[in-house]
Amino acid sequence: MGIKVKCELIKKEKIIEGIYKFSVKAPEIAKEAKPGQFLEIKVSETGEPFLRRPISIFNIDGEILEFIFQVKGRGTELLAKFEEGEKIDIIGPLGFGSFKVQEYKNVAIIGGGIGIYPLYELTKELKGKANLNVYLGFRDKSLVTCEKEFEAIGLNKLVVTTDDGSYKEKGFAIDFMKKDIEVHKVDMIFACGPLPMLKAVRQYALENNIPCQISLEERMGCGIGACLGCAVKVISGAEPRYGHVCKEGPVFNAQDVEI
């Protein structure tokens, strides 16, 4: 169910225009958190907007949790106004479906846009457990973030792409991943990003019989499966059914969900 705590914002960083990284002191949550889980954050004390905002965990460092978010609407606009020293009401860690970290030989990790953020802690956790090839895709140069952070982990390969070719490789991250997998097989793909990208990654993994874990980004109201707002079709088991991203996910085996 997660732990509800008021966490001190100890560092606020504007990464690029409209995207912020917050570091909060949250020992209770950090102790329990796993790669791929998320937080539900109260953005206002006035009750408007009423619903908390779901934000994925970017980094766990001892008692410190880091999360990165993009200002997209009223809720995240209010969240961006918090200043260092203030307390933020957070529930976490949430999501029973987290990335499964174990020993692998070769792993491909692919993310797109703001979907790269849940993959950072995962990549850290996999360091030393697998050869890691990471593929990060962005629309253009102005939206590239966290390249240095991923690079500093010490990867086998890091590929950064932009749709328009304004920075590093031109094209889509999945195309570069496919080329590498043709040469060096992988025994797991981890993915998070825009739905079109996830659909393409899932289809490729299924067609090539490669195990794949995907983190779904859905609008969530409560974060615990009560509001039923983040339904996804689950196709594992005897009969297809609808599960909820916040509770059963956000991470699913690719073959278990229909997207």
Q: What mean pLDDT comes out for the span 249-259?
A: 92
Cis peptide before 240 (omega within 30 of 0): no
Task: Give pLDDT, residue 231.
Answer: 82
Report the run of H or E that residue 214 belongs to, with start and end.
strand 212-215
The tokens describing 224, both together, are: 């615990």
Does residue 107 carry a pLDDT above 80? yes
Q: Which residues of 236-256 are buried (b: 16+ CB within 10 A; e: fewer)?
A: eeeeeeebbbbbbbbbbebeb
Provide the mean pLDDT of the chain: 93
Domains and CATH numbers, the chain: 3-94 (2.40.30.10), 106-216 (3.40.50.80)
Over residues 115-121, the mean pLDDT reads 98
Task: Please give the helix or strand (H or E) that residue 129 lies within, else none.
Answer: none
Q: pLDDT of 7-54, one tens digit each?
A: 999 999 999 999 999 999 999 999 999 999 999 999 998 877 888 999
C-alpha to C-alpha distance for 141 and 131, rounded to whole angstroms = 27
Percentage of residues of the chain with pLDDT beyond 90: 82
Q: What angle do CA 150, 205, 174 make, to 5 degrees?
A: 45
Question: Mean pLDDT throughout 129-150?
Answer: 98
Buried b (16+ CB within 10 A) or exposed e, 1-35: ebeebebebeebeeeeeebbbbbbbbebbbeebbb
Q: Give the helix/strand (H/E) hosting 203.
A: helix 195-207
> Can you give the pTM of this predicted structure?
0.94
CA distance linking residue 159 with residue 150, whole number of Å: 10
* pLDDT band of 229, cuts 50, 70, 90: low
CB 92 within 8 A of CB 68: no
The band of 218, judged by pLDDT with boundaries at 50, 70 and 90, is low
Instruction: Read off the pLDDT of residues 147-163 as tens digits, 9 standing for 90 and up.
Output: 999 999 999 999 999 99
